[in-house]
Structure 1
Amino acid sequence: LECRDRYFMIAVDLAATGDVPRFEAVDGTGTYAITEDYAAKCGYSISILSLLGLVELRASYFSCHTEKGAGFSFRFNLITTYEGVDAYYALNKTCSSPLPWSPREVTCEVNYMEVSVRSELPCQSGSSDDSSTLGPLYSPSTEVWQVTFQNPYQQLPPMNLSQARQEGYIFDHVHDRIVFRTPYGQPESYHTEVTGVPVEVVHATVFSRQSWVVVMVDLIAACSMDEGSYDSGYMIWGTPEALYPSLGTTQISFGLNGNLVEQAAVVQKGFIMERYNSTVQIGIPYDAEGGYRKSFVSDCLSEFYIFNLYLKQTSVDERHEETVLWFHRTLVTPLLSSPLFTEDQTDVDNGTFSIHLGKVPRDVELTSVQLNGQEFAVPFSDSIAYTLTEVRHSNKSHSYTLKVPLHDPIVIQEFSKENAAMLHKLDINYTLIVKPGDEPYYHTFSVTARMAVSPPSFDVVCTESGIDFKLAYRSFDYLWDFTIGSDRLTPVLAANHGYTMSNDSQSLLLSVPLFTHGYKYKDIGLNGFLGTFSILVRDRETADILTSTTKTCLFNATEFIMCSTNGWMTVVVDLSAVLPSGEMPTRFHLLNNFCVPKAVDGTRVLFSFPLHSCGSTVKLAKENVTYQNKIYLDTSENAVEGFNPPTPHRMTVQCTYPLVGLHRLFSIHKFESDKEGVGRIIPFVETTKATMTPAKMTTIAPQRTRSPSLHLPPSYPTARYIKVYRVHNKPGQ
């Protein structure tokens, strides 16, 4: 409850009153419901300020039911309804005018005009002392007084004050002032333009004939009806400089919400006041403190601003009589576009989409987010991998930052040949609600992150029995093919070659045992050898080799046998198993006793020789061929080169190849196979019966060589890389 310059104000929270608050005016004669029509007639205005959550009642000091004593006493009832039951709350206050009254004051309220003038007339020039002062221009009998309305467009007949009251006009005498009040748009009012500004005018003349004296009082209410206009961020409102006679320019002070701003603060607050062509123009910045903003959804998100302008205009006429106008005007901007601000702040290096949604008005709330067609309510639950952070700003807006992992399954991933990159796409649809209410507004935004793609590289581990390869799949690894040589790595290929393969959506595991297809060996010695295995990465469409993962491991096997694709057998064997206890060999050789080991360490020997040499035998079966030789060891100190006495101390070594993979079989100088052979080391076991074999045996005669040992090539490439096709020589060549 507040006493202001020329009115009394009540502001009540809408949460307490409900959406439809009701007021009653109370005086000694009873209670009177303040309806819309009754408010305009009796000097009340009621405004629902939903943006502030308030209802505001303003009552003129000269309103109908104000009790006029030493001050102005107001009594009202606030009526609220809960579950059909009315509750009454008394709101009472007595005010005194904080400012002295000017000879004439005019109030231009939002729903009525009111003018009050001093009720004593000055002395007539040349009159006697007895008639120097006239009594108050009011009689208890309203029938004595009449009123006529002057209109430039028609002649209106006079009426008494009782008739005028029935027509909605109020005439009163309060605190030595004659008061006239009228709602806007009455039949006796007229509209005109003054310096281009629309003005509504009511010109009432109150008169009384008493004997031979006629007393007349002019009551003119003139108010600017400019509704305001919006221009370049300012709400512009104007009023004529000369609504009432003035010797010079009028004095202007103004503000918002019933508060006048000191002249020094006008510029500081961004207000503008200009005089142009006898018109006073007021400019209010759209974001001025004291204004109210409201969002609105049409085809897009819009906003409008509401300003409760309060203005005082003072003019002085040629008799130095002061006229003060008080304006209450509600100014509303047109619908203005209120676009949201969306910024892609994605950091590819961090692997996260980051989308900033800014300039969200304070009365707009984000309720859900749709990601590539899948909707998530706000706030997000803790069970999902996405985050949404809200930040409130000093300008009363707020913003949201959405983060989604680039490799999340909800993200669409496509390979772009044009960009040679993987494109990660996220379509976002924000659903926002303007409060109060539930009308949705949809804001869409699409973001694409470009990630350079590179062929993968396997993690590799050497084991005692082979090499293990592991690949953690990336989302774009479907672009490549993995091959062993030229053969695509598949579960079928792995099974055929004896690999162990595990492949799911997360990773690929491949265990490659020693002596299986694809190995290359070098630096073979009694202490071990180096085994190398490669997995090639090829472009799925062109089959071009893009990169490879190659691993070389040192294997320390005490015994092993290698059967290469180019027809060599390499074997390291420990012969202690076939030696009598306590004996040591003095010499080692194959079936051809000139074929001796490349290296010897006690009972361990290394032989490497072509399959078609050193007395090897060949056994043909239905589907494969076996090359077999024997390692002999002599324990006699008299053993000499070239003499091979019978000895039971021997061990059989053999390599078996599938016939379907052989390209050259019995050529003396050539051997070619698609696959490595399968080798075996067979210790000699004496038996009393001969063992029958269904295979056909062919013996290769021992061949004397100049060198007691055969050279081992540094590596044994697979047949696919060294295959030599038959060449038919032309005659004469």
Structure 2
Amino acid sequence: MCFQLCDVKGSYVTTDPQGLFITECRDRYFWVSVDVGFAGHVPRFEAVVENGVHIISEDHAPMCGYTLNNLNGRASLRASYFSCHTENQNDSNFLFKLNVVLTDHTGIEKKYSLTENCTLPVDWSSKEIICEEHYIEVGLVKAGNVNPVWYAVLLLLIKTIKNGFSLYLHFLDAMSIADARRMGYMLDSTPNRVVFRSAYNQTHSTITEIDRIAVEVIHATVFFRQKWAVVMLDTVAYLSAPSSFDGVILHWRTPKVMTPLVQDFPGFVSRSIELGVDARLLDEATRKAMGYVLGDDGQVVQVSVPFGAPGGSRMSLVENNVYKESYKALLCYEHIYSHVFMDDNETETRHRQLRVMETPLVPRIPFAIDETVPREEVFTVYLGSFASDVELIAIKLNENNLSVTDAIQQHYLITKIPHINGTHGFIIKVPFEDKSVNRMYLGEGLLQYSVEINYTLNIIERNDTFFHHVSVVAHVNDAFPPDVTAFCTAQSIIFRINHPKQAGLWEVCVGHQALTSDLSRLKGYILKNDSQSMTLEVPLFTSGYIYEDITLRNFVGTFEILIRDSKTLEIHKRTTKNCYFQTEELTVCSTDGMMTVVATTTKTWPTVPPSSTTLLDRRCRPKATDETRVMFSFGVDACGTRLMLGDGYIVYENEVISDGGVIIDQESAITRESKFRYLSIYETSKYVKIELGEIRLIFENKKNSDQLLFFPSEYFRLTVRCFYTLDSVKKVFTSRLFEGPGFGTVKITDTTGVKGLY
């Protein structure tokens, strides 16, 4: 993270191969971090010395200069360079020997040894005051003048000083180091410095106000014998009041000048004020980039930290499906100043405060950002931001419920987006053409896509589930249905459909069926495709035509193609082409149950006069005739039409028949009702009649003729049929209405069995 890179004090990092431990030598302390998730349990730290180990417990840590933390899934230890059990080499090199004890899920402990040698990167100031999370530590160089204010006290206490140190707490008598430790104070001597350490809220600390800011003060004086002189060092440690939160920003105020520390104000010189986080200082550019604000009005230093700023940690909680968070940041504040005494001696003080700034639980309603670019035809939706302990476990796209695993397997793109402040969000991509996306054509080339996304999220450690709903809409312009042109040929209608800009948005239909290569082959259409357009040729009499205005001369053939939304199947464009075709022969089965037949009666010999034809019901005569053709138009429930059921079809059948109009002798005319199963021959002076079953032949009786002519009394029969699919039938036995036209067939039947006789 950025603040690691910006450690202005020059720390370095070492990491074990598995990434379980991270250790760093920082400017004033040694830091160890352990991955709790990998370890399974919060680890135990031990300080290793020659005669054994010392457990670093919560109670033991403040007195000995240790700070324990467990944040963001990692347990950490900060150890002051002057902490107990640390090997100190001339106050510049510090050797740490630690054990990290991990307990796995079965209760078995594993111990890992860590050894780190840290070199001081920045020289010590004359006086260093560090206000840690749980303790105050003051370090002073073993040199300097005796403060005249305390000279009288020194005379009273000098007799109590033997070999070593004595500690004097204000308002109390002097005490030995042993007595001080029993009271919770630590006093130690290093090669060049004296170190005093105390926990907060001790009996002898006081609360006072400086510039209307409450501070905790511990004021102590250390006496020690140096050669043949007694040296007195005055120590003052203080900690400012806690931070405040206004719902958006954390605020912290501290006096710029601490009067207990600065007794001669005219000699006070402020050198620098710096701010950092996570116990490390930041350079100014990085601090500003991370949102930390440091202000100074001359008397009070003001610090502002936005909720969720980098370097802090967030904790999540759910109450009544309301996602809430608290935010915590370990603020690092340092003020370096000098104090010039009347004798021109100058001492430098480095005063550092490590303050935990924490908010109460705050509702953090997730926010969605629609990052969709319509021309990409993909919904891109960001949802955030969440603390590190929140995971996405499922999504619901309209009515399609999916776990995250299933969604990824179905090729939805779900990405976790980490942020510099330790939070993260999620990006979901859903193609416009996905089955879960709603689509609506608004007209004028404007197309609307929409999707409802319901997120299911979970707080990992608490197993608290909560939900969030997002509705997104996108519009695509210039999404017109494709242009269609049509023209007629002698035997077909040809449609040309330009390819639309939005591929896959529209589909061409014939009736209720999408036009595909398979459908074209099945129906007998001719379909061609190129990069610019699609061409459909519909030959005459193939499925889908409607025939109107039929005469013996010509008729109108109509064919329609539809453009519909390929997803919703809503029709958005109809292209109908009417063409005149020359009438030759046809059979039309219309949706209103009318059969129209145009047939040629000259395909047999002798030819049949068209005007002599009828249907099975002899009362049904032609609508029109010419020299060679006849046209009938009748209902499927009239003119003797027969109804039959076929495989998936209803079949209506009738016949065009003719008796030729031949009657040789009125007195001996042979009726159609006669049926003979044997051969009979009758002869008169005028004709010869031969009957064989249903076949009747009449010949002129010309004894001396060299040829015989035959005139069968029934020699022309044309069977016509209309086929309607069963699923197109609306009202078969009432009004004879059909969803679509049927198709017809014509079959010529030779009833004589004789082609000619000479």
Bin of the TM-score, shorter chain as denominator length: 0.5 to 0.7
1:369: which partner in 2? 395
CA distance in 2, matches of 1:47, 1:87: 20
Moved more, 156-165 or 197-206: 156-165
Select which of 254, 257, 273 maps to 2:294: 273
Matches within 5 A, 1:395-544: 397-403=424-430, 405=432, 408=435, 410=436, 426-434=451-459, 438-447=463-472, 519-521=547-549, 524-525=552-553, 529-533=554-558
CA deviations on 1:354-402 (whole Å, 9 max, x unpaired) are 2522444583543211123431112445885x73353747768554233
* Equivalent residue pairs, number: 564
CA deviations on 1:520-568 (whole Å, 9 max, x unpaired) are 235744xxx333347899xxxxxxxx99765545666654699999xxx
Q: Contact conserved, 1:79 with 1:88, CA < 8 A, in 2?
A: yes
**Is the partner of 2:59 in helix, strand or coil?**
helix
1:573: which partner in 2? 600
Shift in Å at residue 181 of structure 1?
A: 1.2
* Counterpart residue type for residue 443 of structure 1: H
Matches within 5 A, 1:593-672: 625-626=620-621, 655=632, 657=634
Select which of 334, 349, 357 maps to 2:382: 357
**Gaps spanning 5+ residues in structure 2: where?**
1-22, 149-153, 496-504, 513-537, 563-571, 640-651, 675-736, 738-758
2:208: which partner in 1? 192
Select which of 217, 224, 227 maps to 1:201: 217
Select which of 628, 651, 656 maps to 1:680: 656
CA deviations on 1:233-287 (whole Å, 9 max, x unpaired) are 6754534422411423422342434544456876677654332251122345667
Shift in Å at residue 232 of structure 1?
A: 6.6
2:366: which partner in 1? 339
Q: Contact conserved, 1:27 with 1:67, CA < 8 A, in 2?
A: no
Closer/same/farther in 2, CA of residues 552 and 41 from structure 1, 3 Å limit: same
Q: Contact conserved, 1:534 with 1:550, CA < 8 A, in 2?
A: yes
CA deviations on 1:54-86 (whole Å, 9 max, x unpaired) are 52332342x232344545443322222234333
2:741: which partner in 1? none
Closer/same/farther in 2, CA of residues 224 and 280 from structure 1, 3 Å limit: same
Matches within 5 A, 1:234-253: 236-243=252-259, 244-245=261-262, 246=265, 247-253=267-273
Shift in Å at residue 625 of structure 1?
A: 4.2
Select which of 61, 76, 89 maps to 2:98: 76
* Counterpart residue type for residue 402 of structure 2: F
Shift in Å at residue 342 of structure 1?
A: 3.4
CA deviations on 1:93-149 (whole Å, 9 max, x unpaired) are 455544444443222111101223344563899xxxxx9xx999964577xx46444
Select which of 690, 696, 720 maps to 2:670: 690
Closer/same/farther in 2, CA of residues 249 and 424 from structure 1, 3 Å limit: same
* Counterpart residue type for residue 323 of structure 2: C
Computed over aligned residues only, the root mean square deviation of the Cα atoms, in angstroms, reads 6.0
Closer/same/farther in 2, CA of residues 515 and 354 from structure 1, 3 Å limit: closer
CA distance in 1, matches of 2:378, 2:285: 50
Q: Contact conserved, 1:590 with 1:629, CA < 8 A, in 2?
A: no
Bigger radius of gyration, 1 or 2?
1
CA distance in 2, matches of 1:533, 1:186: 102
The reply to whether residue 31 of structure 1 matches residue 53 of structure 2 is yes
CA deviations on 1:600-629 (whole Å, 9 max, x unpaired) are xxxxxxxxxxxxxxxx8999969x644699
1:87: which partner in 2? 110
CA distance in 1, matches of 2:467, 2:370: 17
CA distance in 2, matches of 1:263, 1:631: 106
Closer/same/farther in 2, CA of residues 563 and 630 from structure 1, 3 Å limit: farther
Shift in Å at residue 34 of structure 1?
A: 0.8
**Is the partner of 2:604 in helix, strand or coil?**
helix
Q: Contact conserved, 1:118 with 1:177, CA < 8 A, in 2?
A: yes
The reply to whether residue 10 of structure 1 matches residue 36 of structure 2 is no
Closer/same/farther in 2, CA of residues 407 and 579 from structure 1, 3 Å limit: farther
**Is the partner of 1:110 in helix, strand or coil?**
coil
Identity %, equivalent residues? 25
1:492: which partner in 2? none
CA distance in 2, matches of 1:400, 1:264: 30
**Is the partner of 2:180 in helix, strand or coil?**
helix
The reply to whether residue 107 of structure 1 matches residue 87 of structure 2 is no
CA deviations on 1:201-237 (whole Å, 9 max, x unpaired) are 1123456999xx9986543222223335568767545
Select which of 328, 341, 353 maps to 1:318: 341
**Gaps spanning 5+ residues in structure 1: where?**
126-130, 151-155, 470-475, 484-509, 538-545, 581-587, 592-615, 633-650, 663-675, 695-719, 721-733
CA distance in 2, matches of 1:589, 1:27: 130
Shift in Å at residue 578 of structure 1?
A: 2.2
Q: Contact conserved, 1:206 with 1:218, CA < 8 A, in 2?
A: yes
2:742: which partner in 1? none
Select which of 154, 167, 181 maps to 1:165: 181
1:306: which partner in 2? 329
* Counterpart residue type for residue 48 of structure 1: N
**Is the partner of 2:452 in helix, strand or coil?**
strand
1:41: which partner in 2? 63
The reply to whether residue 174 of structure 1 matches residue 186 of structure 2 is no
Shift in Å at residue 48 of structure 1?
A: 2.6
2:84: which partner in 1? 64
* Counterpart residue type for residue 432 of structure 1: L
Q: Contact conserved, 1:78 with 1:91, CA < 8 A, in 2?
A: yes
2:7: which partner in 1? none
Q: Contact conserved, 2:545 with 2:559, CA < 8 A, in 1?
A: no
The reply to whether residue 254 of structure 1 matches residue 282 of structure 2 is no
Shift in Å at residue 196 of structure 1?
A: 2.5
Q: Contact conserved, 1:226 with 1:238, CA < 8 A, in 2?
A: no
CA distance in 1, matches of 2:453, 2:127: 63
CA distance in 2, matches of 1:515, 1:692: 39
CA distance in 1, matches of 2:392, 2:273: 42
**Is the partner of 2:268 in helix, strand or coil?**
coil
CA distance in 1, matches of 2:621, 2:163: 143
2:15: which partner in 1? none
**Is the partner of 1:36 in helix, strand or coil?**
coil
2:529: which partner in 1? none
* Counterpart residue type for residue 530 of structure 1: F
Q: What TM-score do the two structures reach when normalised by structure 1?
A: 0.60
Q: Contact conserved, 1:270 with 1:288, CA < 8 A, in 2?
A: yes
* Counterpart residue type for residue 57 of structure 1: R
CA distance in 2, matches of 1:391, 1:532: 61
2:312: which partner in 1? 292
1:665: which partner in 2? none
CA deviations on 1:309-337 (whole Å, 9 max, x unpaired) are 25243241535442331222333355564
CA distance in 1, matches of 2:373, 2:286: 45
